[in-house]
Structure 1
Amino acid sequence: MSLLRFGSRPGLRLSAPVMLALVFLAALWSSPASAWWNDQWTLRKKITIDTGPSGAGISDAIGAMPVLIRLHVGNFRFGAAKEDGGDLRFVAGDDKTPLKHHVEKYDSLLGEALVWVGVPDLKPGAKNDIWLYYGNQKAPAAVDAKGTYDPDTLLVYHFNDRSTPAQDVTAWANTAQNAVPGADGAIIGQGARLDGQTALMLPGSPSLVVAENGELTWSLWTKMTAPQPGAVLFSRTEGANGLTVGLDNGVAFVEVTSGGSTQRSVGGAAIAAGTWHQIAFTAKGAQITLYVDGNQSATLAAGLPTMTGVAQLGRAASAATPAADAAAPAADAAPAAAAPTGAAAGFAGDIDELEIAKVARPPGFIKLGAIGQGPEQAKLIAFSVDEENAGWFSGGYFGVILRSVTLDGWVVIGLLAIMAFISWYVMVDRVSYLNRVSAGNTIFLKHFRETSTDIGGLLQLDSQENDPSFGGELGKKQRKAVHGAPLYHLFAAGAQEIRRRFAAGGYRRLSPQAIQSIRAVLDSGFVRENQRLNRLMVMLTIAISGGPFLGLLGTVVGVMITFAAIAASGDVNVNAIAPGIAAALVATVAGLGVAIPSLFAYNYLTIRIKDVSSEMQVFVDEFITRIAESYELPDEPVKQAAE
């Protein structure tokens, strides 16, 4: 048998668990995708604004703009949100930056909502992601209509005001001067209805003043009742200057009168009556571009004249007709000018979403507005499934506590996490090792006692075999278990000593001094096996004693920072103190969480190690006794040696 052969099991060095812990913590900290903007919100969904080929197909620059988000029962759980939608929050794709928004309509009973979200930088030809958070019944309303639009946006009418003048939702407060009838079922919620007789008057505020050759963007959704010649959508005049946007038998046009000279855009296809279409134009320098449904329809090589007066929707301004008549000869003489096709008339139909800006928006901005606000919005905006965050640490008391933990607290908790990882590694390693040791000792001891009563027989048997198979009685798995048994290691060390003494042949007897020498070898092997049994146990003692103290350090530092912050702010109240103190105590809880399992495991492992150690002591005594019985010197040689 190769009971004399044994080898130590290769084990992981202490640096390995430390490295694994560091890798685990690095992976944990480097996963912001799973982190929530605010854990008090229990639901979120990703909204993708796809301007690429698979979506709206916009290749021109877009920039910052408000995007219309339509919510309905198919893409939003109204029952999980506040009844008025006050808990709606929109966050940028980084899941960190809150976005401004305001609600045009929110009806939880019918399951319909219209929300405008200011997206700061929309990229063309790409998928732009934002997050919608909801599901916090305690959240206050956070709508900000003025912040939704940039300062260049001078006027926005949603026409969701019933029987009152249209309210401007931008910061410029350019509210309409009169009210017009509302129109239900418009392209975006409620719209306005024009009868061709009554105009909607815009204010003559300084912010709406148009400078000569200045920049301007104008857009309006329209649904005409029937094609009309020269139907005026928007008109503004001042003396011999004027600006008109209209539909001539369904063909959109923009007309500029400057110093008595009138020019009108030519070209474009007629739009159908009874359907919604967006009419828009941009002006910059000596160039005006007309758009229908986001696509360029016509251009006009003319600049805007200076205008400071009142503008109106639905009819031509009162001074427009004389100016146009006076300008007719000049228009005939100018090859680039085009005379009006017919007399100016009021527009009859529905309108919605008027927007005026003092800059020329890029083509991508116009197209995204037409697609995102119109019937083809599904090409642009896609909703993901809801993600829920309703665990213990996502809301409630635990959420408040964890959100209040300071950086120093997280450092201490991180160190404790590494310590916990190492201690659990030691627990698993030692329990597994002791299980193998116990199994191997049991097999070895059983066959050691049953194989032969003569120790010489065991040694002779060992010299004839290569495995500790005990005459072929053990299988491969059992032989492997015996190889790792401390009792086998002790037997191998004693057998090696006996063989060394009998290597030269001769009288196979051992003196008492030789037996004591063999016992000394077994005692040294006993010490080595005890050291192997107690390997890494010191890490548990460090966790037991060091974990609570390290946690206490984090708590003390956290309390100090909390009181220092309160002193600096001067705000002394329970709400200011309690979260900081509670968060500081998290470090102590983490320290106890490391120490308590380590304490239980240490006591359990200590008892098992003591049992194995006692078993080895008994085996040493038994082995030495059997050696003395087998190789004791007879009385006669002893007497002769004495004489």
Structure 2
Amino acid sequence: MSLLRFGSHPRFRLSAPVMLALLFLAVLWPSPASAWWNEQWTLRKKITIDTGPSGAGISDAIGATPVLVRLHVGNFRFGAAKEDGGDLRFVSADDKTPLKHHVEKYDSLLGEALVWVGVPDLKPGAKNDIWLYYGNQKAPTAVDAKGTYDPDTLLVYHFNDRSTPAQDVTAWANIAQNAVPGADGAIIGQGARLDGQTALTLPGSPSLVVAENGELTWSLWVKMTALQPGAVLFSRTEGANGLTVGLDNGVAFVEVTNGGNTQRGAGGAAIAAGTWHQIAFAAKGAQIILYVDGNQAATLAAGLPTMTGVAQLGRAASAAAPAADAAAPAADAAQAAPASAAVGFAGDIDEFHIAKVARPAGFIKLGAIGQGPDQAKLIAFSVDEENAGWFSGGYFGVILRSVTLDGWVVIGLLGIMAVISWYVMVDRISYLNRVSAGNEIFLKHFRETSTDIGGLLQLDNQENDPSFGGELGKKQRKSVHAAPLYRLFAAGAQEIRRRFAGGGYRRLSPQAIQSIRAVLDSGFVRESQRLNRLMVMLTIAISGGPFLGLLGTVVGVMITFAAIAASGDVNVNAIAPGIAAALVATVAGLGVAIPSLFAYNYLTIRIKDVSSEMQVFVDEFITRIAESYELPEEPVKQAAE
């Protein structure tokens, strides 16, 4: 109410343009960011984990889970962070609670990072937000691999160790017993390579002991070299008990042997060789569910047997499991192991996880999507926000920071063009103002003077300066001298003086009057050229500004799409900043052209008015000359005789 009263008060009434300008600034002014977790960090970005229909489409329960965050030049400013990524911090949606994380890979030179973040309670069918903070060169490294995973996670191998046994990053320290060759370019950084002969042996740790009908979750990313019958991915046996996970000509299977009785669950479409896929299973009680790429592939009605022995990746732990007991029920016989012998798996593997609980289906699906090639469905990155500077937290800072070098070159050229166009506007408007003021004073006194133009011409005075009866002051005389009408008048007066320089009868023939008109017409052309001086610069700004801006935009869009293609991350958050920055060039071009267009039209109208005024004055001046210096009738007759 007080604001309305203020705006309605006569002394404080705002004009419509001012109110529109204030509204425009209010809309574009960067909105203040929400509470900053720590002021020592200068940059942050929101990461949205979308498990809803618009994202990963996960409706089953998820719970606490590690989430893989892939950073690259399209979504992260490596130059603003520490070289080793030690200033990375992840904070929950409340912007208060730090989250545990650890770095699997960080390469600021290549612009690539793989970071695992422990999210405590991920909701299905919703958008879950976390914050990434960076930009603090003094921050100590604060990675916590053990805290990234819950206590139920028994083993996690990233396979990022070269020529050494795979390290377990969980708190259980289940380090592999031997090393296998590494494989570059795996699904997540570096992986491991199995040749079908050498297996990766897991430790005989008490934490990995499996109780009868106990709970277990197992997952592994695999890429087959070629289709193999009965290829073993994981094997653990102890006497007449055993557990095997493998691929039979590309079809995933899980096989349980309990007391010599073997049951197999297999299903899902055969996976293709040379492509990455996640194989996982969750066992609880008398049921084992097999998953391929996060989707349920088969269900086996069997519980895990008791196993305390050593497990292996890539090869059967012992000879092939015995055939199904002849006395087994028909239902079990249908699931009996095939007669083909087991063989070692040949191909690449990556990201091996074991947990001592049966993870829900949503947890497994989130891992398959979030770690695989479809991660863009799950994770989206917002623009960077800053906690300092005029553009902090707003859109302009993000846009300007994303402008490429070619864009700045175009914007610089447009800036030069804008300076020139504004100079022309100011110069022409000020000149026309002086012209109008001088013309007005001159015409007033010219028309108020006697019809005898001789008094105006002061033919006996060589100063070419009308005195108007001494009525003009110094300032007015200066304004009159700047008037085109005065200069036309002075040119005509000079012509008349030249004709009467010898004294005698002061009369002009029609031919002489036409000659004076020709002089005035030439003066009119010169004055018109003076009025239109530099106007061509405005036409160049009007026509060339938008095209130059469009050139910058097109080049910027090309560079943006090339960068996206190189990084391989196709999502709107990677594309949007580059496209927005590319459009800055077009905005700059329009910013040059639009004021120039308005000014050109305004100046053209004013120049046309002055030109019309000069044309009218020439006609009026010639008429008064003809009246004042008309030849008498007698001399005309004598000339005719």
Q: Answer whether contact 1:6 1:483 (CA < 8 A) is retained.
A: no
**In the TM superposition, what whole-angstrom CA distance separates every residue of 1:360-392 from its partner, at most 9, and x where no partner exists?**
111010101000000000111111111112249
**In the TM superposition, what whole-angstrom CA distance separates every residue of 1:18-74 from its partner, at most 9, and x where no partner exists?**
999999999999999522101111111111111111111111111110000000011
**Cα distance change on mapping 1:94 and 1:641 into 2, 3 Å:** farther
Which range is displaced more, 247-256 or 4-13?
A: 4-13
Structure-to-structure mapping, 1:504-515, within 5 angstroms: none
CA distance in 2, matches of 1:256, 1:6: 82
**Cα distance change on mapping 1:9 and 1:198 into 2, 3 Å:** closer
How far residue 556 of structure 1 moved from its aligned partner, in angstroms, is 62
How far residue 586 of structure 1 moved from its aligned partner, in angstroms, is 41
Which range is displaced more, 445-454 or 9-18?
A: 445-454
Q: Answer whether contact 2:71 2:114 (CA < 8 A) is retained.
A: yes
Aligned to 1:270, the other structure's residue is in SS state coil
CA distance in 1, matches of 2:74, 2:565: 51
Please list every run of 5 or more consecutive structure 1 residues that lacks an aligned counterpart in the other structure.
none
Q: Answer whether contact 2:99 2:117 (CA < 8 A) is retained.
A: yes
Q: Answer whether contact 1:18 1:418 (CA < 8 A) is retained.
A: no
Aligned to 1:66, the other structure's residue is in SS state strand
Which range is displaced more, 174-183 or 513-522?
A: 513-522
CA distance in 1, matches of 2:358, 2:216: 5
**Cα distance change on mapping 1:264 and 1:506 into 2, 3 Å:** farther
**Cα distance change on mapping 1:407 and 1:254 into 2, 3 Å:** closer
CA distance in 2, matches of 1:625, 1:423: 41
How far residue 197 of structure 1 moved from its aligned partner, in angstroms, is 0.3
Q: Answer whether contact 2:560 2:578 (CA < 8 A) is retained.
A: yes
**In the TM superposition, what whole-angstrom CA distance separates every residue of 1:199-245 from its partner, at most 9, and x where no partner exists?**
00000101001011010000000000111110000000111110000
**Cα distance change on mapping 1:59 and 1:149 into 2, 3 Å:** same
Q: Answer whether contact 1:408 1:558 (CA < 8 A) is retained.
A: yes
How far residue 414 of structure 1 moved from its aligned partner, in angstroms, is 45
Which range is displaced more, 175-184 or 593-602?
A: 593-602
Q: Answer whether contact 1:393 1:402 (CA < 8 A) is retained.
A: no
How far residue 83 of structure 1 moved from its aligned partner, in angstroms, is 0.3
Aligned to 1:232, the other structure's residue is in SS state strand
Which range is displaced more, 274-283 or 462-471?
A: 462-471
Q: Answer whether contact 1:6 1:484 (CA < 8 A) is retained.
A: no
CA distance in 1, matches of 2:3, 2:467: 9
**Cα distance change on mapping 1:447 and 1:174 into 2, 3 Å:** farther
How far residue 180 of structure 1 moved from its aligned partner, in angstroms, is 0.2
Q: Answer whether contact 2:384 2:398 (CA < 8 A) is retained.
A: no
List 4+ stretches of structure 1 deviating above 6 A. 1-32, 323-332, 392-643
**Cα distance change on mapping 1:31 and 1:360 into 2, 3 Å:** farther
Q: Answer whether contact 1:40 1:396 (CA < 8 A) is retained.
A: no
CA distance in 1, matches of 2:331, 2:226: 29
CA distance in 1, matches of 2:295, 2:496: 101
**Cα distance change on mapping 1:322 and 1:486 into 2, 3 Å:** same
Aligned to 1:264, the other structure's residue is in SS state strand
**Cα distance change on mapping 1:28 and 1:484 into 2, 3 Å:** farther
**Cα distance change on mapping 1:107 and 1:329 into 2, 3 Å:** same
Q: Answer whether contact 1:82 1:137 (CA < 8 A) is retained.
A: yes
Which range is displaced more, 311-320 or 493-502?
A: 493-502
**Cα distance change on mapping 1:117 and 1:332 into 2, 3 Å:** closer
Q: Answer whether contact 1:59 1:124 (CA < 8 A) is retained.
A: yes
Q: Answer whether contact 1:262 1:327 (CA < 8 A) is retained.
A: no
Q: Answer whether contact 1:231 1:246 (CA < 8 A) is retained.
A: yes
- Aligned twin of 2:631: 633
**Cα distance change on mapping 1:499 and 1:107 into 2, 3 Å:** closer
- Aligned twin of 1:227: 227
Q: Answer whether contact 1:222 1:279 (CA < 8 A) is retained.
A: yes
**In the TM superposition, what whole-angstrom CA distance separates every residue of 1:533-583 from its partner, at most 9, and x where no partner exists?**
999999999999999999999999999999999999999999999999999
Which range is displaced more, 607-616 or 262-271?
A: 607-616
Which range is displaced more, 352-361 or 537-546?
A: 537-546
**Cα distance change on mapping 1:110 and 1:637 into 2, 3 Å:** closer
**In the TM superposition, what whole-angstrom CA distance separates every residue of 1:328-383 from its partner, at most 9, and x where no partner exists?**
9999867xxx2225211000000000000001111010101000000000111111
CA distance in 2, matches of 1:570, 1:237: 42
**Cα distance change on mapping 1:212 and 1:457 into 2, 3 Å:** farther
CA distance in 2, matches of 1:625, 1:507: 20
CA distance in 1, matches of 2:46, 2:576: 34
Q: Answer whether contact 1:436 1:481 (CA < 8 A) is retained.
A: yes
Please list every run of 5 or more consecutive structure 2 residues that lacks an aligned counterpart in the other structure.
none
**Cα distance change on mapping 1:574 and 1:115 into 2, 3 Å:** closer
**Cα distance change on mapping 1:194 and 1:457 into 2, 3 Å:** same
Percent identical:
93
CA distance in 2, matches of 1:126, 1:506: 106
**Cα distance change on mapping 1:309 and 1:509 into 2, 3 Å:** farther
Q: Identify the structure with bigger relative contact order (alpha carbons < 8 Å, sequence gap 6+).
A: 1
Q: Answer whether contact 1:234 1:312 (CA < 8 A) is retained.
A: yes
1:313 aligns with 2:313: yes
CA distance in 2, matches of 1:7, 1:389: 34
CA distance in 1, matches of 2:252, 2:609: 97
Q: Answer whether contact 1:413 1:551 (CA < 8 A) is retained.
A: yes
**Cα distance change on mapping 1:97 and 1:549 into 2, 3 Å:** farther
TM-score normalized by structure 2?
0.56
Aligned to 1:3, the other structure's residue is in SS state helix
CA distance in 2, matches of 1:480, 1:158: 87
How far residue 270 of structure 1 moved from its aligned partner, in angstroms, is 0.5
**Cα distance change on mapping 1:476 and 1:45 into 2, 3 Å:** farther
Q: CA RMSD in A?
A: 18.0
How far residue 435 of structure 1 moved from its aligned partner, in angstroms, is 32
Q: Answer whether contact 2:74 2:563 (CA < 8 A) is retained.
A: no
CA distance in 2, matches of 1:378, 1:11: 57
TM-score normalized by structure 1?
0.56
**Cα distance change on mapping 1:626 and 1:8 into 2, 3 Å:** farther
CA distance in 2, matches of 1:527, 1:9: 52
How far residue 285 of structure 1 moved from its aligned partner, in angstroms, is 0.5
Q: Answer whether contact 1:17 1:422 (CA < 8 A) is retained.
A: no
Which range is displaced more, 223-232 or 6-15?
A: 6-15
CA distance in 2, matches of 1:298, 1:59: 19
How far residue 109 of structure 1 moved from its aligned partner, in angstroms, is 0.5
CA distance in 2, matches of 1:462, 1:481: 24
Q: Answer whether contact 1:9 1:484 (CA < 8 A) is retained.
A: no
- Aligned twin of 1:417: 415
**Cα distance change on mapping 1:525 and 1:52 into 2, 3 Å:** farther
How far residue 603 of structure 1 moved from its aligned partner, in angstroms, is 50
How far residue 437 of structure 1 moved from its aligned partner, in angstroms, is 40
Which range is displaced more, 545-554 or 204-213?
A: 545-554
**Cα distance change on mapping 1:600 and 1:153 into 2, 3 Å:** same
